Structure 1
Amino acid sequence: MFQNKKIKQITLSAVAMAAALMAAQGRASEATLKDGKLAIDTLPFALESQLDLGAASVKDKALVLQANKGTDLYANPDGTEIADKTPRVLFQPTGDFIFSAKVTAGVNHPFNGGALIVYNDKSNWAKLLFEFSKTGAASISTTVAKGAGDDAHHGVRPGDAVYLKVLRRKDMFVFYTSPDGSTWSMVRNFSLPGAATAKVGFSSQSPASDGFSAQFSDVKFRNATFKDFWQGE
């Protein structure tokens, strides 16, 4: 009898936790900054802030990352030029996951932008970046660095905001973009050394101007394996 009661209590607790997680996913995320500690209620992880070259703040319940002048996360195609100096907020998920956020960036200078990143070390990382391109338009670019980088550009995105998504399935990562957070376009898939222990999160950059701020809102995370590769859901 006692054992059955204990099992029932555990089951009810698990159901309550699942319901709470579903409720959190169904509403806007809320970022908080208290006593210097940053938290986002839809991310069930401790957040690691690397802010030597910028600052993090909270505005309208969204995370704002301020990048100082000269900040960049970059590796050229032959690996002879590497920049690993952006303000970022990271966390370390486990297993398969789906992670997305709305990135708002009043981009007004070439290469300023906000990104979702996958990061192991200065030589092994990837970023999905919403930036102001050299042609004068807000656009999407990606880089996968494995010692050397491979910048790729994925076209113009109208407006000052876009939804970005990163997922992991075993050792594979996939990047997506969306205008509304509902219908997604797959940008690229790739592998990365140390995929199982990679950190993911938010980054802002201002490599060629006096500084830049990107805002991250509607943050969603769940441990799940996609059923539809092209939508990442």
Structure 2
Amino acid sequence: MKHDRSVFPAMLGMFLLGGCSDNKTPGVSATDASSAPATAGAAAGDSARVSGEPCDMKLGNIHFTKAVNGADTLTKVDGNGRMTFRVGAKKDFFSDPNDNKLSNNTAPILLAKVDNAKPFTLVSKVIPGFTEKGLYNAGVLYIYVNDNFWQKHCFEQDERGNHRIVSVRTVGTSDDNNHDVVRGPSAYMKISSDTRTVASYYSLDKKTWQLVRLYKNNYPAEIWVGVSAQCPVDTGTVSHFEEISLTQNSVKDFRLGN
């Protein structure tokens, strides 16, 4: 996610049209997007391209209706409510802040529509497919508006082989924030909003939550949330998601995550 990424050229002025792919620009609601200035999406670096094709998948109480980069063809849900998410080589989602040289938006993402005018909380047990050479392999939770406006919350393998919590927020270009090292194969991950604030957390027992990131909710009224797997360097891997839920409420204490 930081150094050995393959280059993915920016696609300016191109939009994928589909039943679930509404053109939006950062900070502009779906209803206002059609009247927004053409330069609004470029304010953060690029024109806003909305990825994704319609799909129909359910996991827990979540109905995924948009698949980015063929995510619906790479996922399978078993009878116990466990999702297997396969990802191929050199797949990542990152917008390089330095001359676009390391940008890559090929990672598959499975998304569900959310009313951002109401509180919401997305939670999942994330079991990434860590491998010996899997630099930046990760299981990921997303907030997504378009290719230039999103956040990912990752359980990821770093340059030293550690498995750690990472968050990346993209408004035109991406930042990159590494957090705690986690011992063990899995972590509970959570993203929550009360309509004003968005916060990300992780937990080892789903009881005690650690704050990872907190910022103002400046997303439009209609957004997408979902899951993804990435493999920026290795030849491919398999991640899993369990105990997933999407509820229309928020944490009560944004510092403690409860």
TM-score (norm 1): 0.78
Change over 3 Å in CA distance of 1:71–1:84 after alignment to 2: same
Shift of 1:63: 1.1
Q: Which residue of 2 aligns with 1:62?
A: 82
Aligned equivalents of 1:79, 1:162: Cα separation in 2 = 34
CA RMSD of aligned residues (A): 1.9
Q: Does 1:172 align with 2:197?
A: yes
The unaligned stretches of length 5 or more in structure 2 are 1-54
Contact 1:125 1:192 in 2 (8 A): no
Aligned equivalents of 2:119, 2:68: Cα separation in 1 = 25
Change over 3 Å in CA distance of 1:114–1:63 after alignment to 2: same
| SS of 2:221 mapped into structure 1 | helix
Q: Which residue of 2 aligns with 1:85?
A: 106
Higher strand fraction: Structure 1 or Structure 2? 1
Q: Does 1:105 align with 2:128?
A: yes
Shift of 1:171: 4.0
Per-residue CA deviation, residues 121-158 of structure 1 (Å, 9 max, x unaligned), is 11111100111111111111110000111100002101
| SS of 1:47 mapped into structure 2 | strand
Larger Rg: 1
Misfit runs of 4+, over 6 Å: none
Contact 2:58 2:64 in 1 (8 A): yes
Contact 1:61 1:217 in 2 (8 A): yes
Q: Which residue of 2 aligns with 1:52?
A: 70
Shift of 1:211: 0.5
Aligned equivalents of 2:231, 2:239: Cα separation in 1 = 10
Aligned equivalents of 1:37, 1:169: Cα separation in 2 = 27
Shift of 1:118: 0.6
TM-score (norm 2): 0.71
Shift of 1:89: 1.0
The unaligned stretches of length 5 or more in structure 1 are 1-35
